[in-house]
């Protein structure tokens, strides 16, 4: 069996898919979406396709090693996202070739269902904000969710006056009041605080007992994250922007986080996220894989979650369940998704929907004046403080 064809699709904004077809007609799907970099992984996959065509798709580890290590330069979010999507597609083919769910090739399931959370929060306490929050909470609870995540909105500077901190904390307290004590609530600071401010806010949040605070500070400096962890009781999570075991190493060795959030479409695919999780296990660190993109990445997450003993909770956003793109979407019941039973990654793609091309084209970017459109969702937008300096997203 050889890899015969590699195609890419752009069915939604923030959704880049790779399809690998073998010479005997097996098909594998992966997701290479890299948020805010809509064109980059497309070029990377095209380059890697030259190596992959004609190769045996079942030699997944070998191809991972070649793509990661060959030609000297390693890592970076463009190469790692391209590699991640290809890795997912090869695991999909592998499962279909052996006619088992991929997790059976990864050691077999250690659980029967996967606990998931949805994005929900109270962003504003004005009448409209509360009404919107109520409607979404009711819909999500009817859909079966028992855990939710939100975060402080707006652009936070090195320090904010009490009113800003108090407003965020009041929203968090109200969330707890609405959902009660049986529901888990997490908060994503999006890496936009300094260590000192993050510690202050965590102390204010602590009485409402959040499950975790995510990326309290940016991802580059593990010592700063450790400083936060050492000063707060709230469990600290990080890792959606860390790539490969090598970037997670110091987080583990310093015990800087209680939970890690590797992204199966950025950190190196199914192959690498399982290794990161196994590495985390010896530090008693649990994984909560990041997944804020599409349903193929989410399906790849489920395969890893199935086999990792130290799995805790899976992120997903509404489009992650596969509505419109999958013949049968994932269903949440009582907070869980049942383990997939289909071969490979366990879904059937609706190719008619996938072939709809919704990418931002080069023509459109030229027309808009690349970089001049502040709110373009796919490019990530532009965020500035009142003084004109760059703010974190």
Q: How many residues at the interface with Mg ion, by CB under 5 A?
A: 2
> Which member of 190, 203, 266, 286 is catalytic?
190
Would you say 38 or 191 has its CB closer to Mg ion? 191
Which of these ranges, 102-110, 166-174, 227-235, 237-245, lies near Mg ion under the rule CB under 5 A? 237-245
As measured in angstroms, the least distance from the Cβ of 72 to Mg ion is 31
Cβ atoms of residues 94 and 57 within 8 Å = yes
Which strands form 15-22's sheet, in the order they lie side by side?
Answer: 3-12, 15-22, 27-31
H helices of the chain, in order, are 40-52, 60-69, 77-98, 102-105, 127-142, 162-179, 195-205, 222-231, 244-253, 269-281, 295-307, 351-354, 362-368
As measured in angstroms, the least distance from the Cβ of 119 to Mg ion is 10
* Closest to 152 in 3D by CA, of 137, 164, 163, 138: 164
Of residues 239 through 258, those in contact with Mg ion by CB under 5 A are 240
Would you say 160 or 240 has its CB closer to Mg ion? 240
As measured in angstroms, the least distance from the Cβ of 374 to Mg ion is 22
* Closest to 29 in 3D by CA, of 243, 264, 249, 205: 264
Which of these ranges, 20-28, 71-79, 181-189, 354-362, lies near Mg ion under the rule CB under 5 A? 181-189
Query: Rounded to whole angstroms, how far apart are CA atoms 138 and 118?
Result: 12
Query: Considering Cα of 265, then 267, then 273, then 275, what sign does the dihedral take?
Result: positive
Would you say 188 or 378 has its CB closer to Mg ion? 188
343 binds Mg ion (CB under 5 A): no
Which of these ranges, 13-21, 105-113, 184-192, 326-334, lies near Mg ion under the rule CB under 5 A? 184-192
Query: Rounded to whole angstroms, how far apart are CA atoms 234 and 206?
Result: 6
Query: Rounded to whole angstroms, how far apart are CA atoms 60 and 56?
Result: 9
Cβ atoms of residues 364 and 137 within 8 Å = no
Q: Which two tokens stand for residue 173?
A: 């307290």
As measured in angstroms, the least distance from the Cβ of 300 to Mg ion is 18
Residue 100-139 contact track with Mg ion, rule CB under 5 A, x = bound = ----------------------------------------
Would you say 267 or 360 has its CB closer to Mg ion? 267
Q: What is the DSSP string of 114-160?
A: EEEEEE------SHHHHHHHHHHHHHHHHTT--EEEE---S---S--
* Closest to 288 in 3D by CA, of 132, 46, 49, 116: 116
As measured in angstroms, the least distance from the Cβ of 292 to Mg ion is 7
Nearest residue (beta carbon) to Mg ion: 188
As measured in angstroms, the least distance from the Cβ of 345 to Mg ion is 23
Query: Rounded to whole angstroms, how far apart are CA atoms 337 and 57?
Result: 29
Q: In Å, how far from its chain's centre is CA 120?
A: 16
Would you say 204 or 219 has its CB closer to Mg ion? 219
Which of these ranges, 68-76, 224-232, 234-242, 311-319, lies near Mg ion under the rule CB under 5 A? 234-242
Is 266 assigned a catalytic role? Answer: no
> Which member of 63, 266, 286, 290 is catalytic?
290
As measured in angstroms, the least distance from the Cβ of 198 to Mg ion is 14
Residue 151-180 contact track with Mg ion, rule CB under 5 A, x = bound = ------------------------------
Q: Which of 160, 184, 188, 272 binds Mg ion (CB under 5 A)?
A: 188
Would you say 52 or 291 has its CB closer to Mg ion? 291
Which of these ranges, 55-63, 125-133, 182-190, 306-314, lies near Mg ion under the rule CB under 5 A? 182-190
Would you say 174 or 317 has its CB closer to Mg ion? 317
- Report the residue count for the chain: 393
Residues that bind Mg ion (CB under 5 A): 188, 240
List, by residue number, the catalytic residues.
190, 290
């Amino acid at each position: 069996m050889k890899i015969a064809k590699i195609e890419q699709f752009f069915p939604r904004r923030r959704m880049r898919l790779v399809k690998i077809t073998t010479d005997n007609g097996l098909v594998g799907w992966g997701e290479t979406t890299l948020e805010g970099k809509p064109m980059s992984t497309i070029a990377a996959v095209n380059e890697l396709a030259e190596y992959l065509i004609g190769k045996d798709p079942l030699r997944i580890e070998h191809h991972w090693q070649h793509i990661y290590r060959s030609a000297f330069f390693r890592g970076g979010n463009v190469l790692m996202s391209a590699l991640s999507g290809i890795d997912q597609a090869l695991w999909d083919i592998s499962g279909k070739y052996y006619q088992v769910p991929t997790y059976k090739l990864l050691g077999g399931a250690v659980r029967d269902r996967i606990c998931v959370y949805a994005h929900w929060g109270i962003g504003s306490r004005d009448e409209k904000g509360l009404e919107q929050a109520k409607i979404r909470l009711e819909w999500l609870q009817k859909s079966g969710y028992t855990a939710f995540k939100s975060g402080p909105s707006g652009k936070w500077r090195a320090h904010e006056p009490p009113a800003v901190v108090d407003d965020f904390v009041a929203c968090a307290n109200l969330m707890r009041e609405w959902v009660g004590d049986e529901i888990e609530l997490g908060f994503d600071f999006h890496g936009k605080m300094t260590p000192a401010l993050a510690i202050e806010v965590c102390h204010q949040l602590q009485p409402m007992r959040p499950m975790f605070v995510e990326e309290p500070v940016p991802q580059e400096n593990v010592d700063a994250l450790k400083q936060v962890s050492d000063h707060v009781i709230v469990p600290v999570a990080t890792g959606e922007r860390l790539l490969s075991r090598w970037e997670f190493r110091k987080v583990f060795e310093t015990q800087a986080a209680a939970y890690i959030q590797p992204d199966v479409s950025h950190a190196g695919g199914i192959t690498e996220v399982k290794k990161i999780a196994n590495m985390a296990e010896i530090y008693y660190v649990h994984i909560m894989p990041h997944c804020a993109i599409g349903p193929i990445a989410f399906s790849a997450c489920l395969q890893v979650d199935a086999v990792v003993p130290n799995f805790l909770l899976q992120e997903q956003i509404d489009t992650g369940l596969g509505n419109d793109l999958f013949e049968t979407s994932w269903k949440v019941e009582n907070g869980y998704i049942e383990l997939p039973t289909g071969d490979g990654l366990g879904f059937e793609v609706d190719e008619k929907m996938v072939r709809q091309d919704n990418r931002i084209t080069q023509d459109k970017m030229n027309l808009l004046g690349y970089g001049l459109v502040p709110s373009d969702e796919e490019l990530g937008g532009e965020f500035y403080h009142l003084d004109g300096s760059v703010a974190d997203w």
